[in-house]
């Protein structure tokens, strides 16, 4: 193994698994069933504006207790922003909660094709494997449903832990569970801000997963286009 790495931590969404069908397809189908007309030309702008809510938030000094109500409020607000941009009738933004709940019920997840072989290779090398994800409280349920939970030694869902990436406590908790020092861990994920900056700030090694080659000029850490490339850095 390179650099004496003893553990690899993974982001979840768009690193290990993705929505299938994708977010836009589910959203437009849900809106159609609810009678909400969507301007598809404005969808990219709407998604971009709503995704601004997903940017790194201010660090907290104590863990935030899990609240399903807070999760529901967050994603209702997300859909309000999205609908305010791309619904033909701006008044349809008032139906954001219905869209959110229907969208959530319609989500199905797909594991990327290379995930299981890569995890098997890492496990055969004797590495500890964990997940560090900004999620909504049901990540372990999702992983059980798709048959991926047993591949990992631990799973950190930010909503359950009370801390998010890119802040230090969630990475420190992963190190505690893996029982290793920071320099013996590598974190891989698809977000330069949440995953790479967070891991590097805590002294971990990091690899950016850039499946769609959106970060060609990224230089703060190694960049790979599939998890197969991760094996060259472990």
pLDDT tens figures, 193-217:
999 999 999 999 999 999 999 999 9
Q: CB of 158 within 8 A of CB of 135?
A: yes
Same domain (yes/no): 90, 120: no
User: Given pLDDT bands bounded at 50, 70 and 90, which one contains residue 54?
Assistant: very high
**3-class SS at 120?**
helix
At 100 the pLDDT is 98
Angle between helices 23-33 and 96-106 (to 10 degrees): 120
Residue 165 has pLDDT above 80, yes or no: yes
Bridge-based pairing of strands 128-133 and 17-19 is unpaired
Q: Which of 7-16, 44-53, 59-68, 221-230 has the lowest mean pLDDT?
A: 59-68
Residue 3 has pLDDT above 70, yes or no: no
Q: CB of 166 within 8 A of CB of 195?
A: yes
User: Given pLDDT bands bounded at 50, 70 and 90, which one contains residue 61?
Assistant: confident
Same domain (yes/no): 12, 45: no
At 213 the pLDDT is 95
Same domain (yes/no): 121, 176: yes
Same domain (yes/no): 60, 158: no
Tell me which residue has tokens 């059980």: 144
Which of 59, 86, 106 represents a domain boundary (last residue)?
106
Same domain (yes/no): 229, 115: yes
Average pLDDT, the chain: 97
Dist CA 79 CA 51 (whole Å): 10
What integer is the mean pLDDT of 47-75? 95
Which residue range is the domain that position 90 belongs to? 21-106
Same domain (yes/no): 119, 198: yes
From the number of C-beta atoms within 10 Å of its C-beta (0-12, 13-18, 19+), residue 52 rates as: exposed
Same domain (yes/no): 189, 121: yes
Same domain (yes/no): 13, 26: no
User: Given pLDDT bands bounded at 50, 70 and 90, which one contains residue 1?
Assistant: very low
At 62 the pLDDT is 94
What integer is the mean pLDDT of 19-23? 98
Dist CA 95 CA 102 (whole Å): 11
Q: How many domains does the chain have?
A: 2
Same domain (yes/no): 159, 200: yes
Q: Which residues contact 1 (CB under 8 A, 6 or more apart)?
A: 125, 127, 234
Same domain (yes/no): 84, 154: no
Which of 48, 77, 106 represents a domain boundary (last residue)?
106
Main-chain dihedrals φ then ψ at residue 10, nearest 5 degrees: -120, 140
Pick from 157, 153, 119: nearest CA to 138: 157
Which of 106, 139, 163 represents a domain boundary (last residue)?
106
What integer is the mean pLDDT of 131-139? 98
CATH code for the domain of 173: 3.40.50.1000
DSSP at 196: I
Residue 74 has pLDDT above 80, yes or no: yes
Same domain (yes/no): 88, 191: no
Q: Give the chain's length.
A: 234
At 209 the pLDDT is 98
What integer is the mean pLDDT of 151-172? 98
List, for residues 82-128, the tens digit of each pLDDT value: 999 999 999 999 999 999 999 999 999 999 999 999 999 999 999 99
Q: CB of 208 within 8 A of CB of 233?
A: no
User: Given pLDDT bands bounded at 50, 70 and 90, which one contains residue 150?
Assistant: very high
Same domain (yes/no): 86, 196: no
């Amino acid at each position: 193994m390179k650099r004496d790495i003893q553990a690899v931590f993974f982001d979840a969404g768009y690193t290990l698994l993705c929505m299938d069908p994708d977010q836009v397809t589910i959203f437009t189908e849900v809106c159609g069933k609810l009678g909400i007309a969507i301007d598809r030309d404005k969808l990219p702008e709407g998604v971009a504006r709503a995704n601004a809510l997903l940017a790194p938030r201010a660090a907290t000094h104590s863990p935030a207790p899990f609240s399903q109500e807070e999760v529901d409020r967050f994603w209702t607000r997300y859909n309000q922003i999205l609908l305010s941009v791309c619904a033909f009738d701006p008044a349809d933004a008032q139906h954001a909660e219905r869209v959110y709940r229907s969208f959530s019920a319609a989500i199905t997840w797909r594991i990327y094709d290379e995930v299981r072989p890569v995890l098997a290779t890492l496990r055969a090398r004797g590495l500890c494997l964990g997940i560090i994800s900004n999620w909504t409280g049901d990540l372990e349920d999702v992983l059980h449903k798709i048959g991926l939970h047993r591949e990992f030694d631990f799973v950190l869902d930010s909503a359950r832990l009370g801390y998010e990436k890119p802040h230090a406590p969630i990475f420190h908790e992963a190190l505690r569970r893996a029982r290793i020092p920071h320099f013996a861990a590598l974190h891989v994920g698809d977000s330069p801000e949440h995953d790479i900056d967070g891991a590097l700030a805590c002294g971990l090694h990091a690899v950016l997963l850039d499946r769609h080659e959106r970060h060609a000029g990224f230089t703060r850490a190694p960049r790979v286009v599939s998890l197969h490339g991760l094996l060259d850095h472990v």
